[in-house]
Amino acid sequence: MREGMGRLHLMGERAASLFVRGQGSWLWDSEGRAYLDFDQGQGGNSLGHSPTLLLDALRRQAELLISPGQEQCTRGQLKLAARLCQATGSERAAFCSDAAQANALAVRLALLAAAEQKPAADTLVLLDGSHLALPLHLGATRVIRVPFNDLEALAAVVDLRCAAVLIEPVQLSAGVVPATLEYLQGAQRLCREQGAVLILDETGSGMGRCGALLAEELYGVRADLLTLGCALGGGLPLAAVLARGRIADEAGDWLPACSAEALLTVAGVAVLSAVLDGSFFGQIREVAEHLREGLAQLSRRHGHGSLRGHGLLLGLPLIGPSALAVQRAAREQGLLLGIARRDCLRLSPALTVSHGNVEEMLRRLGRALQRAERQCEEVA
């Protein structure tokens, strides 16, 4: 390939490398350079790049049926819904194309259920830091935002007018900030007392990312509605809404019967089967501890902040250089990282990441931090 073909120009801006191949925790560009990927599409590539089990499942399904149309039902849809409900203790499942659609559907279901049970309820409570694409048809619903991890502020608005509360257990865009145990359990108690629907947005924290199938398990809470993102399909455009209890009973007439293609739901079955393997969560927790210890040492050595997050979803607060500067320096070292906010890196490697991958990442990140810190000093 001619020199320069590894770069793209999109919308007048010079884009990143042109990636042509991936395997596990690694990506290769068109010029043959390898990158260690500790972002994995913001964690969406749950099993890493091009995992064999996912490729095999897609190949088998493609030979039979790719798409009968979104309004038609397939075995894969039924199988994935049944397995998801069994694994999560849910009664109903609906599929969407992405996290935004899943959260919008969950909000709509919660408001419809509240209209049946609490006709006077007209309030949806969101937490500061959550970025939710709200449905356009909210009607007269009030949307109130309150500070995250502030139980007193939440208690002040969860009353008889409150229809639903939507919480992201680990707030990604706010800097990978996890809910405290007291807060999330308190939020559940408030919702139960006032008859409000508790929605947990697990589009970033679910599917094993935090060391359990769902982050709610770490807190001992149980949402009425729960959403999953593209990690369900191993990075493919597949998301889900899970309904429990009275919401599941009332949502029967409102949930779309079939809304995911045959190829996608088969991918979901393959990913879910891998995640539910008996030793999988133990392996995640083991390598996550290795990653956390190494990052903590690196952060102390360079004078940065304390780590945040759970499992293989971690935020590294920076003091001095910006997250963008460190991300660029890491890229020069062949390391891909995410940004949670301007002063915080986000690490969301494949759930199959190895101890060797972690050690190599730490070496490359250490060099990137040194470079970014030198640049920051030169500017100052």
pLDDT one-digit tens code per residue, 318-354: 999 999 999 999 999 999 999 999 999 999 999 999 9
CATH number for region 52-275: 3.40.640.10
Supply the pLDDT for residue 141.
78
For range 57-73, the mean pLDDT: 87
pLDDT one-digit tens code per residue, 354-380: 999 999 999 999 999 999 988 877 665
pLDDT one-digit tens code per residue, 270-292: 999 999 998 999 999 999 999 99
Complete DSSP assignment for 319-352 = SSS-HHHHHHHHHHTTEE-EEEETTEEEE---TT
Per the CB < 8 A criterion, the answer to whether 294 and 358 are in contact is: yes
Domain ranges of the chain: 7-51+278-379, 52-275
Q: Is the pLDDT of residue 119 over 90?
A: no
| Best CA proximity match to 361, nearest among 353, 370, 371 | 353
pLDDT band of 115, cuts 50, 70, 90: confident
Look over the chain and give the mean of its residue pLDDT values, rounded to a whole number. 90
For range 30-51, the mean pLDDT: 97
7-51+278-379 and 52-275 in the same fold: no
Q: How far apart are CA 336 and CA 330, in angstroms?
A: 7
Q: How far apart are CA 298 and CA 360, in angstroms?
A: 13
Buried b (16+ CB within 10 A) or exposed e, 189-205: ebbeebebbbbbbbbbb
**The CATH fold of domain 7-51+278-379:** Aspartate Aminotransferase, domain 1 (3.90.1150)
Supply the pLDDT for residue 10.
52
Supply the pLDDT for residue 12.
44
| Torsion angle, alpha carbons of 189, 192, 195, 201, to 10 | 80
Q: Show the tokens assigned to 117.
A: 């049970």
DSSP annotation of 196 reads P
Per the CB < 8 A criterion, the answer to whether 234 and 46 are in contact is: yes
pLDDT one-digit tens code per residue, 227-257: 999 999 999 999 999 999 888 887 665 565 5
For range 66-72, the mean pLDDT: 80
Q: Is the pLDDT of residue 121 over 70?
A: yes
- How far CA 230 is from CA of 84, 115, 207, 272, 324, in Å, comes to 14, 30, 9, 12, 25
| Residue 352 φ then ψ, to 5° | -100, 10
Q: Is the pLDDT of residue 258 over 60?
A: no
Question: Which residue type, as a one-letter code, is found at position 235?
Answer: G
